[in-house]
Chain A
Amino acid sequence: MKAIISLGAWLFNWLEAVGRAGIFLVQSVCRLPVRFGESVNLLVKQLYSVGVLSLVIILVSGAFIGMVLSLQGYSILAKFGSEEAVGQLLALSLLRELSPVVTALLFAGRAGSSLTAEIGLMKATEQLSSYEMMGVDPLRRVIAPRFIAGVICLPLLSLIFSASGILGGQLVSVGWLGVYDGAFWSSMQQSVHFDTDIMNGVIKAVCFAVVVTWIAVYQGYECVPTSEGIGKATTRTVVLSSLAILALDFVLTAAMFGDF
C-alpha cells in the first residue's frame, strides 16, 4: 500500500515537473526579444559560444568515426568481395544514425553542460533576479537566445559531422585500403536519397536540439543556486539529455525507417 502511494506521489511529482518544464519552454519561446538589433546581437553571442566553440570537437570526432567505420566495414565487406559497398555503409550509417546521435551527445556534454552551469551561476549570483528587478524578463533576455541558438546549431553541426565523417572515411578506404574511388562514390550515390536519408537526419538533429537545449536551460534555471546545486544540475543535464537522445532516436528511427 505504501509502495503504491509513494509511486503515485512520484508520478505526480514527475508529471508536475514535466508540466513546469513545458510551460517554461513555451514562455521562453513566446517571449522572444522584442528589439530586432538587440536580439540579433544576443543570438550571435550565443551562436558563437554554443556553435563555433563546438566546431573542433565535432570535426575531429566526425573524421575519426568515419575512419573507424571504414576500417570495420571494409574488413567485413571484403569477405563478400564487395569492398565498394563501404561507401554506402559509411554514408547511410552516418547520415541516418551516427551523426545526429553522436553530435547530440557531444553537444549535450560540451554545450548543454556549459549552458546549465552558466545559467545556474547567473541565478546564484542574483543576475536573474536582477533582470527581474529591472523589469526585464530573464526568460526573454537570457533563456530565449540560448534556446534558439541551440536549435540552430545542432543541425548544422550534425551536417558538418556527416561531411567530415565521409571525408575521413574516404581517406581511409580509398587512400589507404585501396577501394576504387569511383566505386566508392557511386555506391554511395546510388543508395543515399536526399529526402529520406539526409533530410531525415536533419529532422532528427532538430528534434535532439530542442530536447537537449530545453533540458540544459531548464536545469540551469531551476537549479538550487549553490555550488553543489549547480554541479548536480550540470550532471543531470548530461545524463537526462543522453537518455532522452537515445530513447528519442529509437522512436524517430521507427517512425522514419521502420517500414523498410
Chain B
Amino acid sequence: MRSKRAELLVGCFIVLGVAALVYLAVQVSGLAFSSKKDTYQVVARFDDIAGLTSRAKVSISGVTVGSVESITFDKDLYMALVTMNIHSDVNNIPTDSSIAVLTSGLLGEKYLGISIGADDEMLKNGSEIYDTQSALVLETLISQFLFKAGDSEK
C-alpha cells in the first residue's frame, strides 16, 4: 500500500517535470511543436547588419511573415549574406521590394522589414532582394550629422 502511494507520487513528479519542460518550451521560448509552416527561401545582401541574429523575425507592415535562417559573410562582395524563410502563403512579394534592418524600440531586437515594391513579378524560392538598406549605426549617424553641420556652416 505504501509503495503504491510512492509510485503514484513519483509518477506525478515525473509528469510535472515533463510538463514544466513542455511549458518552458512552448510558452517561454515560443517553440512551435505544430508542423512547421511551409516556407520558401529568399536571400539578401547587406552592407551592415549590425547585430541581426539568426531566428530574427522578418516582417511586412509589422506582421511577421518569416524568420532569418542563416547569416554568412559573402567573401567576394564583402557583404553580409542573409538567408531567410518566408511563409509560403505570403507569395505575392514583388521582386523590386526593399528590405531593411530595423530595431524594435530603442534598445530592442534587430529584425528585417520588407517594403512592398510595384513589380509584377513575385519573389520565388531562391530569389534575391537587391534593394537593401543597412542597419542604422549610431556612430555613423553622428558622424554624418557632424559632417553635414560642418558643410552648412561654410
Please report A residues at the B interface, Cβ cutoff 8 Å. Answer: 41, 44-45, 47-48, 51-52, 55, 80-82, 85, 91, 95, 153, 155-157, 159-160, 162-164, 166, 185, 188-194, 197-198, 202
Contacts and interface: CB of A to CB of B under 8 A. Distances in A.
B7 interface: yes
Nearest to A155: B17
B3 A163 contact: no
Interface in B21-61: 21, 23-25, 27-31, 55, 57
A192 B109 CA distance: 12
Nearest to A185: B27
Contacts, number: 85
A contacts with B: majority SS: helix
Contacts of B25: 194, 198
Interface residues of B, number: 29
B122 interface: no
Contacts of A191: 109
Contacts of B24: 95, 159, 162-163, 166, 198
Given A163-B23, A189-B28, A193-B55, A156 B13 contact: yes
B25 to A, nearest CB: 5
Given A44-B7, A82-B105, A95-B24, A160 B17 contact: yes
Nearest to A59: B16
Nearest to A43: B10
B29 A192 contact: yes
Nearest to B14: A156
B20 interface: yes
B67 to A, nearest CB: 11
Given A82-B105, A160-B17, A193 B10 contact: no
A155 to B, nearest CB: 8
